[in-house]
Each structure stands twice: as structure tokens, then as C-alpha cells.
Chains A and B, each alone.
Chain A
Amino acid sequence: MMGCLPTKQVGRSTHSLNPREAVALAAETSFTVNEVEALYDLFRKLSNSIIKDGLIHKEEFHLALFRNKKTNLFVDRVFDLFDQKGNGVIEFDEFVRSLSVFHPDAPEEQKAGFAFKLYDLRQTGFIERHELKEMVLALLDESDLNITSDAVEMIVDRTFDQADTKGDERIDQEEWNEFVKNNPYVLRNMTLPYLKDLTMVFPSFVIHSEVSEADMVA
């Protein structure tokens, strides 16, 4: 005998956000449950833009940040940092946890830590002088700004000497934390202000809250 069972899953895609996962991610990050759901909408769009598998691949990440899919020094580093498990794709929980670092309420130490890893291009645990110069040149290159190489040297050296208090020709995590305390402006791109009110700023994120009151109980 056959019958039909009504299911809550009607109309949902196979990759849908588990309400418990949403609650767990909200608890671990600076986001509310609604904001995690809003991020899921964005994640679904990004993760299915080229390869429809619900995971963000490097090309999809590039596409989201740069329409013309230009490869770039920083986009690669950021991708690698988002890909916490290091398996070549960004999964939803990695996406949320990484973006949480950019939340206005996230602790400074988290932001400083992320930035340090970002700038440590070859992951040696240190930022070397030539790496700093490389990054400045890459930035100038992509933005058509015109600075003489003398000026670049001067800026890089001045910055590096200020940060490298131990004088060992490299900036370690400790020196970086100190530098950031004295130059807080350096971390300004580690905060995305509108992450604070994601659901209000972007009304196009339609909230289909799958989380019931029962799920919210700890």
C-alpha cells in the first residue's frame, strides 16, 4: 500500500541550511541566526555561480570579487584564509566564521590575526621586507597610481623600520600586534560595517526563517 507523507522539505533544495547549524554558527560568531540565514542566501548564490555544487571554488570567489575573473595577489590569500580546512573550497561554515572576523563587533585580536596571516604571503610566520614591498607594488600596479620607485622604497622602509622593533629584518606576530595598536587605521579594511545589520541593509535578502522557537532553546 502506498501513501503520501507531507514533509517540511517540500520545495527546498537538497543543500538547505539545517536550523541547528544556523543556531550553532550564530552562537560561535558575531552574527544573529537571521543574519546567518541571510548569509546562506548569499553563499548559495556564490557557490553555484560556476560549479553548481554548493561549495565556493576559487573561480567563483574571484568572480564574486572581480567580475572579469582577474587573478590577484590578495584574492588568492583571502581565499586560502577562508578555506580553513585547506581542501580547496569554501564551505558554508568556513564562510560564516571567516566573515565574522570582519564584523564590527569582532575582537581586534581576531582582525589583527587575520590581517597578519593575510600579509604573511608565504606563510613563514613572518612578514618580510620584500613581501611588504611586493604587496605595495601589486597594489600600485592594479590601481594605475603613479609613485616613483624611490618613493615606494621610502614608504616601505619607513613602515618596516617602524614595525620591526626587534630589528631582525622581519615582522613577527608580536611586533605586528604592537604596530597595529599604534596604527589602528591599518586594520580598517578588516571591518565591513554593514555586516552588523545585514538583514536590514539588504532587504533583498528575503528571510525564510526555518528556525522555530523550539530550535532556539539552548
Chain B
Amino acid sequence: MRRPKSLNAFDIIASSLSFDLSRLFEERGERMHFMSGALVADIIAKLEEIAGMVSIEATRNGQKGALAISSKVFELTRELVMVQVCKKAGNTAEYRRFCDNELKAGMRGLVVDALPPPVDPDECC
């Protein structure tokens, strides 16, 4: 499998939420990051297993229509990767439920320390 894209320090800074002028125009995109020391192949396999799909860009039919999420893996150091998960389409509440219940539980074994706390709903709209 291809090696994930390697992030440098400026990439990390560029992903800063505070330097995201899109907030001037629209609601913040639903997105989360977490760190892992596991092998990329294991992370992807786990994501696929949790979301029940075969590709990283995945859609599943939820109660409120299709929920599409996309996930990207970036390399930080030889031992550490950053996984970005974001909602591409679908009901936001359903996406959050997926993250809180299924994603976090499923990824627990692979993630370094705690996963980020749930996003403050007031901050997102």
C-alpha cells in the first residue's frame, strides 16, 4: 500500500482551526483528528470494519439518509500518524453519533492517549 502523505510542521499549522477564514463564510466543517502509533494498514482496516465499508470514502445508509465520511491518514513521524475524519454528507447529529459511539469505541485500541472531546455543538453552526 502507498505510504501516507508526510506532514511537515507548516502543514500542521495550516490545519489550525484558528487560521481558517472559512469560518467567516460558513459553518465549520465537521472534522476531527487523532493520533496513532499503529500501522496505517491496521488503522484503515479498523476504520473499514467500524463503518462497514471497503473504501476510505464511505457511505452508509443511516436513518436520515446516506451518511458519507471521508478519512485521510497523514504521517507525522516514523512512529506517529494523524488520522483525519470528516463528514462529507448526511445528517450532522447522525455523524456525531457515529463518531461518539462507533468510531471512538472502535479506534480505542489504536489511538494514542485520549481522543479529542466531542465538539461543542454551539461552535459548529
Contact = CB atoms under 8 A, between A and B. Distances in A.
Contacts of B34: 145
A143 B16 contact: yes
A75 B17 CA distance: 10
Contacts of B79: 151
A192 interface: yes
Contacts of A65: 18, 20-21, 23-24
Interface in A66-107: 66-68, 72-75, 78, 99, 102
A188 B84 CA distance: 16
Nearest to A195: B25
Contacts of B16: 74, 138-139, 142-143, 189
Which DSSP category, helix, strand, loop or mixed, fits chain A's interface?
Answer: helix
Contact of A183 (B10, B13, B80, B123): B10
Interface stretch (A10-18, A152-160, A209-217): A152-160
B11 interface: yes
Given A189-B19, A194-B25, A160 B35 contact: no
B8 A162 contact: yes
A199 to B, nearest CB: 12
Given A66-B23, A158-B8, A185-B11, 6 more contacts: A46-B24, A75-B18, A139-B12, A143-B33, A155-B76, A194-B22
Interface of A: 42, 46, 64-68, 72-75, 78, 99, 102, 118-119, 132-133, 135-136, 138-140, 142-147, 151, 154-156, 158-160, 162, 183, 185-189, 192, 194, 202
17 contacts: A42-B25, A67-B123, A73-B18, A78-B19, A132-B9, A136-B12, A145-B116, A146-B114, A147-B76, A151-B76, A151-B77, A151-B79, A155-B8, A186-B8, A187-B14, A194-B25, A202-B25
